[in-house]
Structure 1
């Protein structure tokens, strides 16, 4: 199910049934080579990430001790009670001469053009859901995947070549092979079923699952909100074909060395304050899908201009500007 189908499905439930479509902008918080979920305590982590959300993001975020809602002093997301962190890998352009340049994110063209990059975040439901508990975290996708058959094991991570900022068709599991006039959109959609017991698991995935049809499996009986990211990557500066590989192959690579796109993945750490997310889900909040309006009176909101003010300095000091001779962390393209 792709973006438009997902939204329509959430909207098509029977009257009186909870159906939340909470959508908001999160500006870029930091681009840094740390990963408190997969590589806790390791600084630097193997590859670079782009992160949005609360500024309590750190090298280590132990779920039993790290209260993000009380530790953070700001959030780069529109809901002032959302101190969660949402992150993905970073996109790079690899030129014909073998050098690399970081691709920046930019504001979603459907209402959030004033955002200083980052992501658009959705919390969706088509019925009653239980909000995440403090300490909850999860990942989706696998950075080791390099084939379409592997990527199709999880059809919830996709790419869209943007002809315009509102393009919502032609999605695929790998990097687009042609020039994308308005950039590349990457979508990451997380599972909606939880085992009801574990806030995390050793692989950060086994405690959650996707539904079978419309029902959660008996092993994961608790329905949770659908967390969904859209990231706009500004690939327009790299549409000069003279910079592309001589054989015409696509030139983009993830920061972990993936030249295919099949290793697309995302990370999530819950950090909403109190019962704010549960209130929003119970209130069936219906954000405008084509503007910056977040129609959710139960939440305290800030403007996009204010979200742009919440930033962090990278923990790892390294050169990320200009043309680089190798990916950060000396990650090999393979």
Structure 2
């Protein structure tokens, strides 16, 4: 099920381009101060990056740059927090093992985490000349649906995808569900956030309604923002590389007997359709706007860059102490893998690969 074709961005070094940088792992914990503020543990496990002021509540008025003493991201002015769910392998005997993350192409030495993009124009336009607005202090958003188990449900969100990696630089094809076969170099998940803001609300009850997709097409295709959300923002985009290579031997690793794929999200989704991401803006002063107005790619003259050792050194202790690295009989939070809804839809002909 091919969604769209992408250029291998890591292999191209344009003269005027986008902001692309790594963030190392800040913590892996069962916390979610956006969707479940004040709740510890939160319902499922997340991998979290960014400023070390991250905590259980993260009130909107929180001054993240002032309260942080370090960031796990490459640019020292970025104290934002970025997070996604965690990927697990489910063996035939019903036990689970967390899948580790690896750094993206060009970012050797960074401890897991993911790659973050902020773009003035689409991923395929290497000139990046458009004027876009930076997010504001207190801004936050979420994209995706943790309850999605069908293609139709996933298609409500544009460009939340998976790539089965032949090499670390593979970028096609991209699908909405988990790859069905072993992936030689791992699985890459992509989370692309909406790009049109209503111009007044820094958040909304579902953490999505204050943002919108373009009226038609996508950010990449240059579609216009709707009148209700007329402010064109930079494109925020995550790439997460999961090192599934240790599980590639189907027999040695007890893949399911029916031949189905064995990976599940930390909240139990075994289809992949519930891919999602969270964001809390925390850039210092006008650093992000300056970067969006400049010709930046990996390094940026308007920002201060720190090395991998400094990124890796910025961590916070886990709040919820539970087994997350060994083989476990159930996912943290008591979740079990869920495929039932998708299979039922397939059986009655509502879902087709």
The answer to whether TM tops 0.5 is yes
Number of aligned positions between the proteins: 318
1:200 to 200, 203, 227: 203
Residue 163 of structure 2 is matched in structure 1 by: 160
CA contact (8 A) 1:20 1:123 kept: no
Residue 36 of structure 2 is matched in structure 1 by: 39
The Cα of 1:6 is off from its aligned counterpart by: 10
Find the aligned partners of 2:5 and 2:319 in 1 and give their Cα distance.
Answer: 34
> In structure 2, do the counterparts of structure 1 residues 3 and 307 end up closer, same or farther at CA, with 3 Å as the change threshold?
farther
Cα-to-partner distance string for 1:276-332 (whole Å, 9 max, x where unaligned) = 0000011132x1xxxxxx231000110122211111111101111211010001013
Matches within 5 A, 1:148-297: 148-213=151-216, 214-242=223-251, 243-285=254-296, 287=297, 294-297=298-301
Residue 84 of structure 1 is matched in structure 2 by: 80
1:55 to 47, 52, 55: 52
The Cα of 1:246 is off from its aligned counterpart by: 1.2
The Cα of 1:20 is off from its aligned counterpart by: 4.7
Residue 290 of structure 1 is matched in structure 2 by: none
Residue 98 of structure 1 is matched in structure 2 by: 94
CA contact (8 A) 1:157 1:186 kept: yes
Cα-to-partner distance string for 1:141-180 (whole Å, 9 max, x where unaligned) = 1010000111112131000000110101111000001000
CA contact (8 A) 1:20 1:281 kept: no
Q: For structure 2, which runs of at least 5 residues remain unmatched after alignment?
A: 122-129, 217-222, 339-353
Find the aligned partners of 2:227 and 2:96 in 1 and give their Cα distance.
Answer: 47
The Cα of 1:7 is off from its aligned counterpart by: 6.4
Find the aligned partners of 1:3 and 1:327 in 2 and give their Cα distance.
Answer: 34
Find the aligned partners of 2:321 and 2:4 in 1 and give their Cα distance.
Answer: 38
Cα-to-partner distance string for 1:52-73 (whole Å, 9 max, x where unaligned) = 1111111000102x11101111
Q: For structure 1, which runs of at least 5 residues remain unmatched after alignment?
A: 288-293
Does the residue aligned with 1:4 lie in a helix, a strand or coil? Answer: coil
The Cα of 1:85 is off from its aligned counterpart by: 0.5
The TM-score, its normalising length taken from structure 1, stands at 0.92
Does the residue aligned with 1:23 lie in a helix, a strand or coil? Answer: strand
Residue 112 of structure 1 is matched in structure 2 by: 107
Moved beyond 4 Å, runs of 4+:
5-8
Moved more, 70-79 or 238-247: 238-247
Find the aligned partners of 2:168 and 2:243 in 1 and give their Cα distance.
Answer: 11
Residue 300, structure 1, aligned to residue 300, structure 2: no
Residue 148 of structure 2 is matched in structure 1 by: 145
Find the aligned partners of 1:123 and 1:278 in 2 and give their Cα distance.
Answer: 10
Residue 64 of structure 2 is matched in structure 1 by: 68
Aligned-pair Cα RMSD in Å = 1.8
Find the aligned partners of 1:55 and 1:172 in 2 and give their Cα distance.
Answer: 33
Find the aligned partners of 1:268 and 1:308 in 2 and give their Cα distance.
Answer: 20
Residue 4 of structure 1 is matched in structure 2 by: 6
The Cα of 1:99 is off from its aligned counterpart by: 0.2
Does the residue aligned with 1:140 lie in a helix, a strand or coil? Answer: strand
Find the aligned partners of 1:273 and 1:259 in 2 and give their Cα distance.
Answer: 38
